[in-house]
Amino acid sequence: MDTRRLLRIFATGLGTAGLLVSGCSSGGSAPSASARGSASTEDMSPYYGQKLRWRDCGVEGFQCTTMKAPLDYGKPDGGDIDLAVSRKKATGPGERIGSLLVNPGGPGGSAVDYLQGYAAIGYPAPVRARYDMVAIDPRGVARSEPVTCLTGKQMDAYTQVDQTPDDDAEVAKLTEAFDRFAKGCEKRSGEILPHVSTVETARDMDILRSLLGDEKLHYVGASYGTFLGATYADLYPGRVGRLVLDGAMDPSLPAIDINRDQTAGFEAAFQSFAADCVEQPDCPLGTRSAAGAATALKQLFADLDAEPVPTGETRKLGESLATIGVIAAMYDESAWPQLREALAGAKRGDGAGLLALADTYYERDPSGKYANLMFANAAVNCLDLAPAFTRAAEVEKALPDFEKASPVFGRGFAWAALNCGSWPVEATGTPHRTEAKGAAPIVVVGTTRDPATPYKWAVSLAEQLSSGTLLTYEGDGHTAYGRGSDCIDTAINTYLLEGTPPKNGKKCS
């Protein structure tokens, strides 16, 4: 398996932690004035009345277009934003159901890349036969007026800042790095920063739904994409078609709880890795116990903090990049052999393997150029929720709780949660229950040992949604659909093709 491609697909589920920062006719109708924060139907008619002009993407079988939306929904006549859209038309056989929008998460993951690189190829053939597979890069992401914050060299420096400061000087360096990141975003992308919220992106999706000629939105969202899908359902419950929310987030939680839960989630994932590792002859963390493996990993991180090791290029592998390399491999168990090899290399003084995993996570290419994933991730997260922490003293007070949640990753996750503390735009979102009263059945999928979106979030979201039905995958990794469980795939395919959701509480392994 191409692990690098796999990680690009699945490592977009960052939740809110920001780890180191962490010819088509229109159809449907315009949103009602009662939609949260919406302008009047008259104000929005130019957007719902536009025509999409499809062209060949240069990628076989795919068409592309650009859609306009208001930059500011509160002032829809105040300027536009251009959003990139791609589709692959239904292949047949069988009657076409409609369009199926997909989103891989992040926030900051390119839905167009996900569609063209995976979904329109990897989704089951019967689904692709009866749906036009469609993706829109969210505002601020990839091809849709991307948020930019730092140059490649600046990001290289940023990703190497010590995320587990040991003294006041190191705390100052970390907070200064967060400040530089925020100021870079403001300098390079200040106009769009106040307008990349999840609510605004959900409203963009409704314009697209209408332009595609669909009365209802059919959608599969993974990780953060579940928050986006749930937000859409809450705004437009009468327009919900078949929604799959895989690797669910919990919209009712404040940022600090999200960060702490995610910390525990990565600890659980590591424990699964460790239990498997100690049974392997090539385990670089010992062969006695998972607890012993955790101790060995902590020691390796401490050694790399004290003395980074060469990687075969100008960057060395220190604790921060090593931690991200390990975290990247927690998203999918098929990456565990690669992680064992990379850890063994680091113990020998060769950091190339863990650096490669970290670069995949950060979407850094060999030339030193970064995709805008991390920039958009921070921009959306810091706008959607008030920061978990605003001062270093608050982090220090919370450290015991985070270290209890994860002896291995707790300190790093706690300090990473400070990244929105100096954000130049005030948050516009608040934690809230998402009920989507009157919506058609919505399938919420949770994986019991999901590192990035802990299982209890899926349980909570399914309970909040008035029409939510919970589908559980008992296993490892981030998200469940299309990852090898016939039980999961059959349940979701039946729902997408026939409209029949699985029984609430159904479990698969």
The answer to whether 155 and 130 are in contact (CB under 8 A) is no
> What stretches of 1-107 adopt beta strand conformation (E)?
55-56, 63-70, 80-88, 98-103
The answer to whether 230 and 437 are in contact (CB under 8 A) is no
For this structure, is 450 an active site residue?
A: yes
For this structure, is 26 an active site residue?
A: no
The answer to whether 2 and 207 are in contact (CB under 8 A) is no
Annotated active-site residue in 132, 359, 384, 450: 450
The phi, psi pair for 283, rounded to 5°, reads -70, 120
Query: Which residues lie below 8 Å from residue 124, measured CB to CB, with a gap of 6+?
Result: 482, 489, 493
For this structure, is 29 an active site residue?
A: no
Helix ranges (H only) for 307-362 are 319-329, 336-347, 352-362
Helix ranges (H only) for 11-110 are 41-48
Query: Which residues lie below 8 Å from residue 134, measured CB to CB, with a gap of 6+?
Result: 85, 86, 87, 99, 100, 101, 102, 115, 208, 212
What number of CA atoms fall less than 13 Å from residue 369's CA on the CB side?
A: 2
Burial (CB < 10 A; 0-12, 13-18, 19+), residue 386, is: middle
Residue 332, Ramachandran bin (φ over 0: left; ψ between -120 and 50: alpha; else beta): beta
**Distance from C-alpha of 338 to C-alpha of 138, rounded to nearest angstrom:** 32
Annotated active-site residue in 22, 384, 476, 478: 478
Neighbours of 33 (CB within 10 A): 12
Angle 80-82-84 (CA atoms, 0-180°, nearest 5)?
Answer: 160
**Distance from C-alpha of 292 to C-alpha of 279, rounded to nearest angstrom:** 12
Annotated active-site residue in 38, 223, 320, 422: 223
**Distance from C-alpha of 467 to C-alpha of 95, rounded to nearest angstrom:** 26
- Which residue type is seen at 450? D
What are the catalytic residues?
223, 450, 478
